[in-house]
């Protein structure tokens, strides 16, 4: 039964990683931009929610709802005025600009909030659990996992059922031709990053309520997110969820053997997948 | 009709570079003589500048010439440091050969690293190298005989009895710790010369042309018979070796190693990227300018802690957006001066007089 428990915990943890990864996957899929500041943006959003909770006394879920439009606008502006200038054939400018931004966000947060560990309190919700076929799971992890599924479903609906999604796919395939059809890539990219920031805010809500966070943990979240995207295969949202679950299960199994191996086990699972399926398990995009 | 043939030569030399070569020779002599007239503190500062320059030149070789944007160079710095510590503390080797051994160890680490990360394209390569660095850090933190997660110090006196320290003590009339600093500084100077010499030699060679071709147009380079993966692997492994040497040298001087500091992405990759970006990526002069700017900024602003890092990040974002070729790029564009020219130009030599005369 302990094995089943470990697997279930791992799968639920994978939901959190999938939330980290979905925004990264979305932005990469549309404009081939890898945002090295992605993890730090999640931490930034977590601090924003924390501020809303402590300053206004809001419920964390309500605070996240308030943070959503703020982060959307921030993402939109960031893409429109900064990242758009870096897009092109050369991969160097976007990488270096987002890397610089990552350092700026980390140290800005450090200066504003100090290096102390924080946590967004959820009151009684934090300790509640439900029984699923003999396995007790925490309500928050379950909620995280269900949110991850909801986000993946919503992103798939957006991508394949709406005019905006069609424009996303068209621009992803051929930005020049899409431009001729009346799509304005710069605004479209800004919207995409804005949507990614909405996912980031949802991820931040669960990051901040489930565990402690501080300004320095962003890069590690970026790495988990990245591993989930690569394992799943570029361009597939469901693949990203599955990739997150693999990292999660590997980590909980690693931790079951030796707490020091938790993170290492996740990385090794990633390297093994890279070894046997370099393009991921469910690749959709060609590159 | 003048029938005398004109001899055409392919040259990379420019007038500025010839004058600069003389300056370099003088600078190198001055550099080796520096311990005669500089304080111990200044020698330590120079050591820091030189080791950062080695890291910057290597990162620039990867990112600026081979298109391999690595965010995981701390893997080789830390691994080089740990290999040197293992050789000195566990196998009782002299630090001098231990540094070389560390370079070889970093080279060997580069082989599986390249095997994995070369499966990832472009931006994903960058994060892939970061994952490897994390894996190496976590594994090293499990190495209990070298202190595990908390780290360890070099055995007392190991550096004081290093080969050559006795001679330096006699030569300068100083005590062992200062002699150790001087020796480490000289080694750093040699490493800088070897690194720049290697990179410049590589870029001027046929392989360097291949490298530039791969960077500028992969398909065209393939079509004329350049094997891009081979070229990139060669550059990656060479950079691993040199970065490992630099890591070992840095930790000879620090005398204490711990996984979090040895594999710090800020210290060994972020700073290095800032140096190269601010100085000018894709040139040999860029990192030299960058490391000087970096040192001045650090000395004036280091008291401001995270504000300083934030400013450094903002500057490099600004440079990347508005002057992507960095300070040296701006300077070279205005003056046309190249100190390490690699562009080949065709020049006609003096016409050879034939016996008929002209």
The answer to whether the Cβ–Cβ distance between B131 and A267 falls below 8 Å is yes
Which pair of tokens denotes residue A3? 């094995």
Looking up tokens 């992405």 gives B265
List CB contacts (< 8 A) between B63 and chain A: 92
The SS3 call for residue A183 is coil
**Mean pLDDT of the residues in chain B:** 89
What is the rounded CA–CA span in Å between residue A102 and residue A109? 11
pLDDT at B198 over 90: yes
Instruction: Tell the residue number behind the tokens 């005025």, with chain if given.
Output: A81
> What confidence tens digit (pLDDT) does each residue in B130-140 have?
999 999 999 99
Q: How far is CA B152 from CA A250, B143, B270, in A?
A: 30, 11, 25
The predicted pLDDT at position A285 comes to 54
Torsion angles phi and psi, residue A136, rounded to 5: -85, 125
Residues on chain B touching A91 (C-beta within 8 angstroms): 67, 69, 122-123
Among A180, A150, A183, A151, residue whose Cα is nearest residue A164: A183
The minimal CB distance from B135 to the residues A97, A260, A264 is found for A264
**ipTM for the whole complex:** 0.89
- Assign 3-state DSSP to chain A and report helix, strand, coil percentages, each to 5: 80, 5, 20
Which is nearest to B31 in space by CA: B334, B335, B290, B288?
B288
Asked if the model's pLDDT at residue B356 lies above 50, the reply is: no
Name the closest residue on chain A to residue B278, using Cα atoms: A96
The reply to whether residue B317 touches residue A110, judged by beta carbons under 8 angstroms, is no
Q: Does the distance separating the beta carbons of B124 and A260 come in below 8 Å? A: no
The answer to whether A85 contacts chain B (CB < 8 Å) is yes
User: Would you say B24 and B196 are in contact if contact means Cβ atoms under 8 Å apart?
Assistant: no
Task: Tell me whether residues A86 and B121 touch, CB distance under 8 A.
Answer: no
Taking the CA of residue B29 and the nearest CA in chain A, the distance in Å comes to 36
- Asked if residues B237 and B25 have their Cβ atoms less than 8 Å apart, the reply is no
Residue A131 exposed, middle or buried by CB count within 10 Å (0-12, 13-18, 19+): exposed
Cβ distance A92 to B123 less than 8 Å, yes or no, reads no
Copy the structure tokens of residue A167: 């424009």
Give how far A58 is from chain B: nearest CA, Å: 30
User: In angstroms, rounded to a whole number, what is the distance separating the alpha carbons of residues B26 and B339?
Assistant: 15
β-pair partners for A132: A135
A285 and B CB contact within 8 Å: no
8 Å CB contact of A103 and B123: no
- B168 inside 8 A of chain A by CB: no
Write down the pLDDT at residue B350: 56
- pLDDT score, position B358: 40
- Helices B15-37, B40-60: crossing angle, 10 deg rounding: 140
Q: Does B301 touch chain A (CB under 8 A)?
A: no
pLDDT at B349: 60
**CA pair distance A117, A103, nearest whole angstrom:** 19
Phi and psi (nearest 5°) for B275? -55, -50
d(CA A24, CA A186): 18
DSSP collapsed to 3 states, B72-83: CCHHHHHHHHHH
**pLDDT average per 10 residues of sequence, chain A (287 residues):** 86 95 90 91 97 92 96 97 89 90 95 92 81 84 95 94 91 85 89 96 95 93 93 88 96 92 94 87 67
Give per-residue pLDDT as tens, B50-81: 999 999 999 999 999 988 999 999 999 999 99
Q: Could you tell me which of B268, B203, B194 has the C-alpha nearest to residue B66?
A: B203
β-bridge pairing B8-11 and B345-348: antiparallel
pLDDT classification of B340: cutoffs 50, 70, 90: confident
Tell me the HSE value of B11 on the side-chain side, using a 13 A CA sphere.
12
For the stretch B5-51, pLDDT in tens is 677 777 777 777 888 889 999 999 999 999 999 999 999 999 999 99
Tell me the shortest Cα–Cα distance from B6 to chain A, in angstroms: 41
Please name the residue of chain A whose CA is at the shortest distance from the CA of residue B127: A223
Tell me if A271 and B69 make a contact (CB, 8 A cut-off).
Answer: no
Closest CA to B120 of A277, A12, A211, A21: A277
Backbone angles phi, psi at B69, to 5 degrees: -80, 100
Chain A residues whose beta carbon lies within 8 Å of the beta carbon of residue B273: 96, 99
* Alpha helices, H only, B141-254: 165-172, 176-204, 206-216, 218-223, 228-254
Asked if the C-beta of A260 comes within 8 angstroms of chain B's C-beta atoms, the answer is yes
Instruction: Report in angstroms the alpha-carbon separations of A208 from A118, A142, B64, B248.
Output: 8, 15, 38, 39
Using only C-alpha atoms, chain A has a radius of gyration, in whole angstroms, of 19
pLDDT in tens, B261-317: 999 998 999 999 999 999 999 999 999 999 999 999 988 987 887 888 899 999 999
**For A270, which of B126, B131, B310 is closest by C-beta distance?**
B131
Strands B345-348 and B256-257: unpaired
Longest Cα pair distance anywhere in chain A, in angstroms? 59
C-alpha distances out from residue A17 to A10, A21, A199, A228, A256, Å: 10, 6, 12, 7, 19
Q: CB-based contact (8 Å) between B313 and chain A?
A: yes
Average pLDDT over residues B119-143: 90
DSSP structure class, residue B155: P
């Amino acid at each position: 039964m302990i094995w089943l428990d470990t697997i279930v915990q791992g799968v639920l943890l994978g939901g959190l990683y999938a939330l980290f990864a979905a925004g990264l996957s979305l932005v990469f899929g549309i404009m081939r931009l890898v945002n090295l500041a992605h993890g730090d943006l999640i931490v930034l959003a977590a601090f924003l929610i924390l501020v809303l909770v402590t300053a206004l006394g809001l419920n964390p879920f309500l605070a996240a709802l308030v943070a959503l439009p703020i982060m959307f606008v921030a993402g939109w502006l960031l893409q429109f005025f900064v990242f758009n200038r870096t897009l092109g054939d050369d991969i160097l400018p976007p990488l270096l600009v987002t890397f610089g931004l990552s350092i700026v966000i980390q140290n800005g947060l450090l200066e504003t909030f100090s290096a102390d560990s924080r946590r967004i309190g959820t009151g009684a919700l934090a300790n509640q659990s439900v029984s699923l076929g003999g396995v007790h799971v925490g309500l928050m992890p379950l909620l995280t996992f269900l949110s991850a599924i909801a986000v993946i479903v919503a992103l798939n609906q957006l991508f394949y059922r709406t005019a905006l999604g069609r424009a996303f796919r068209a621009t992803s395939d051929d930005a020049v031709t899409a431009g001729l059809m009346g799509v304005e890539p710069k605004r479209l990219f800004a919207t995409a990053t804005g949507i990614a920031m909405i996912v980031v805010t949802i991820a931040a809500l669960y990051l901040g309520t489930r565990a402690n966070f501080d300004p320095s943990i962003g890069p590690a979240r970026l790495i988990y997110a990245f591993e989930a995207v690569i394992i799943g295969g570029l361009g597939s949202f469901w693949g990203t969820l599955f990739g997150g679950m693999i990292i999660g299960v590997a980590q909980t199994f690693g931790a079951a053997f030796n707490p020091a191996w938790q993170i290492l086990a996740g990385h090794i699972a990633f390297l093994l997948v890279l070894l046997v399926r370099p393009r991921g398990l469910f690749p959709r995009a060609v590159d | 009709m003048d029938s005398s043939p004109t001899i055409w030569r392919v040259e990379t030399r420019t007038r500025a570079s010839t004058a600069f070569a003389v300056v370099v020779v003088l600078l190198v002599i001055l550099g080796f003589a520096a311990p005669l007239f500089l304080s111990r503190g200044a020698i330590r500062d120079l050591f820091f500048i030189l080791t950062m320059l080695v890291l910057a030149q290597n990162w620039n070789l990867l990112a600026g010439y081979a298109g391999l944007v690595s965010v995981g160079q701390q893997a080789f710095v830390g691994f080089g440091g740990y290999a040197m510590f293992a050789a000195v503390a566990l196998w009782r080797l002299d630090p001098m050969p231990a540094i070389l051994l560390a370079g070889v160890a970093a080279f060997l680490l580069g082989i599986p690293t390249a095997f994995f990360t070369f499966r990832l394209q472009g931006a994903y390569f960058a994060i892939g190298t970061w994952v490897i660095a994390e894996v190496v850090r976590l594994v090293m933190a499990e190495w209990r005989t070298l202190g595990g997660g908390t780290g360890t110090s070099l055995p007392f006196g190991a550096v004081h009895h290093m080969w050559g320290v006795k001679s330096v003590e006699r030569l300068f009339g100083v005590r062992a710790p200062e002699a150790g600093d001087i020796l480490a500084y000289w080694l750093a100077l040699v490493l800088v010369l070897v690194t720049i010499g290697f990179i410049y030699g590589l870029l001027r060679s046929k392989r360097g042309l291949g490298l530039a071709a791969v960077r500028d147009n992969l398909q065209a380079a393939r079509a004329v018979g350049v094997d891009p993966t081979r070229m990139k692997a060669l550059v990656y492994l060479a950079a691993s070796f040199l970065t490992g040497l630099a890591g070992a040298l840095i930790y000879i001087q620090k005398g204490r190693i711990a996984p979090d500091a040895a594999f710090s992405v800020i210290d060994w990759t972020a700073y290095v990227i800032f140096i190269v970006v601010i100085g000018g990526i894709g040139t040999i002069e860029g990192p030299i300018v960058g490391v000087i700017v970096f040192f001045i900024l650090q000395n004036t602003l280091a008291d401001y802690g995270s504000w300083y890092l934030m400013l450094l990040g903002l500057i490099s974002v600004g440079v990347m957006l508005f002057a992507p070729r960095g300070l040296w790029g701006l300077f070279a564009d205005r003056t046309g001066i190249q100190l390490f020219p690699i562009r080949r130009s065709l020049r006609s030599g003096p016409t050879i007089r034939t016996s008929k005369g002209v």
